[in-house]
Amino acid sequence: MPARATSVINAVLVDDEKLASDELAYLLKDFPDIEIQAVGRNGLEALSLIEEYEPDVVFLDVQMPGIDGMSVVRQLRERLAALPFFVFVTAYDNYAVEAFRLEATDYLLKPLDKDRLAVSIERVRRH
């Protein structure tokens, strides 16, 4: 029986902590429909990578040097760009209300839980 075709979800990861983005990339390997297009280290890189790759979803840290994750979303909205889905990945729960006000698809707390990540990816798939 042939394998069922699945559509690929293109992703960009942005986190100033290399260990955190490496861990996320490792966990995402268990989701074959998620393809990581690029990895950024700060908000400025996030803006350029999103513009260059036009990903379906961006896994975005909140606290980064320079432009933080929330400001990345605000700047993209000001440009009236077609926005990807945003999943904020952070160690701090106090930004959740602001993240959802910016219409985040999800909000994950570090250290990442694989089952919780699966729920987040399912939300992206449904959209």
Give the whole-angstrom CA distance, residue 100 versus residue 87.
10
Segment holding 115, helix H or strand E: helix 114-126
Judge residue 99's burial from the number of C-beta atoms within 10 Å of its C-beta, 0-12 exposed, 13-18 middle, 19 or more buried: buried
DSSP label of 17: -
Question: Tokens representing 43?
Answer: 């908000």
Band the pLDDT of 1: cuts 50, 70, 90.
Answer: very low
Segment holding 121, helix H or strand E: helix 114-126
Give the whole-angstrom CA distance, residue 98 versus residue 93.
10
- Which pTM value belongs to this model? 0.93
The mean pLDDT of the chain is: 93
What's the mean pLDDT in 79-97?
A: 91
What pLDDT was estimated at residue 57?
98
Give the whole-angstrom CA distance, residue 28 versus residue 42.
20
Give the whole-angstrom CA distance, residue 46 versus residue 59.
10
pLDDT tens digits along 4-45 = 446 999 999 999 999 999 999 999 999 999 999 999 999 999
What pLDDT was estimated at residue 6?
60
pLDDT above 90 covers a percentage of the chain that reads 89
What are the φ/ψ torsions at residue 51 (nearest 5 degrees)?
-65, -40
3 pLDDT above the threshold of 80: no
What pLDDT was estimated at residue 82?
82
